[in-house]
Amino acid sequence: MAIITLITTIYLFYTGFSYYQTSLEERFYHPNHDWFKPSGAFGHGLGIVGTLMILFGVSIYIARKRYNFLSRFIRLKYLLEFHIFLCTLGPILVLFHTAFKFGGIVSIAFWSMVAVVLSGVIGRYIYIQIPHTIDGRMLSLNEVKNMKTDLVKILSEKHNLDNNTIELFVNYSEGEDSSNKKSSTHKLKKVLRDKNIPVEERKTILNMVKNERSLSGKIARLQNMQKLFKYWHVAHLPFALIMLIILIIHVAITLAFGYKWIF
């Protein structure tokens, strides 16, 4: 899909290059002014098609995410890809609709659109850091926590370790041991060796606590990312709303001025 966006952008640049590079005062005399200007057949069309893409890309994602629309047929993560595709291509068409002339209050809609797109890129980055089910549903903290093993139980029942040793291992697995990781792994190895635990069993125990430690790290990161993602909506959503409101005014004004496009 990225390739479609790229080809379209190159085509739009190529086809209107001579018009877009003409200064605003001289455009009026350009032979294709009536075609490329924002109210021209081509320019106006780009505005309408681009806006429809954005509106469709947003509504279908919200319909699926919040109201389970078509949930049996399409996974949320594919719709997110689709949202990103339509909401990247749409703004590019709108950019060419403006013919790089950003005037009036509608320029606020334009810059809000730019803000939404940029925030989208950041949000996408945060989003992929958060574990999701294959369906694209975000895993809750508890679901991830449930992946943790019951270390205390396994270490005491299966490996017969005493309470002090278990505490040492649990601290390590929670990443609470502040000394650097290598030296504390050495310490654990030494404890197991001193207790004459067979090599294979030592390996099993060490691997298990290492896994737990990495899972603890993931949980901590997940908590941060989820918080960050919540704040991220505070940028993405309101800019989208500002854009929508000014867009409605913009369209109402153009209709009031009698711009009809090809119909």
Of 98-106, 152-160, 181-189, 201-209, the segment contacting ligand HEM by CB under 6 A is 98-106
Asked if 189 and 204 count as a contact pair (C-beta separation under 8 A), the reply is no
CA atoms within 13 A on the CB side of 103: 4
Radius of gyration of the chain (CA): 28
User: Minimum Å distance from CB 131 to ligand HEM?
Assistant: 14
Contact string (CB under 6 A) for ligand HEM, positions 18-57, x = contact: --------------------xx----x--xx--x--x---
Site mask for ligand HEM (CB under 6 A), range 106-135, x = bound: xx-xx--x--xx--xx-xx--x--------
Q: How far is the CB of 260 from ligand HEM (least distance, A)?
A: 9
Which two structure tokens, joined as six digits, stand for 41?
Answer: 């057949």
Site for ligand HEM contains 93 (CB under 6 A): no
Q: Which of 35, 131, 156, 18 is nearest to 77 (CA)?
A: 131
Does position 240 interact with ligand HEM (CB under 6 A)? The reply is yes
Collapse the DSSP code of 235 into the 3-class scheme (helix H, G, I; strand E, B; otherwise coil) and give the result.
Answer: helix
Retrieve residue 3's tokens: 């390739």
**Pick 120 or 172: Cβ nearer ligand HEM:** 120
- Which residue's structure tokens are 């691997």? 207
Closest by alpha carbon to 235, among 116, 137, 78? 116
Options 14-22, 79-87, 173-181, 190-198: segment touching ligand HEM (CB under 6 A): 79-87
Asked if 94 is part of the footprint of ligand HEM (rule: CB under 6 A), the reply reads: yes
Q: Give per-residue burial for 169-183: e unless 16+ CB within 10 Å, then b.
A: bbebbbbebeeeeee
Q: Is 198 helix (H, G, I), strand (E, B) or coil?
A: coil
Task: Choose between 117 and 188: whose C-beta lies nearer to ligand HEM.
Answer: 117
Per-residue CA distances from 6 to 1, 9, 19, 113, 115 (Å): 9, 5, 20, 19, 20
Question: Which residues contact ligand HEM by CB under 6 A?
Answer: 38-39, 44, 47-48, 51, 54, 58, 61-62, 65, 80, 83-84, 87-88, 91, 94, 97-98, 101-104, 106-107, 109-110, 113, 116-117, 120-121, 123-124, 127, 233, 236-237, 240, 243, 247, 250-251, 254, 259
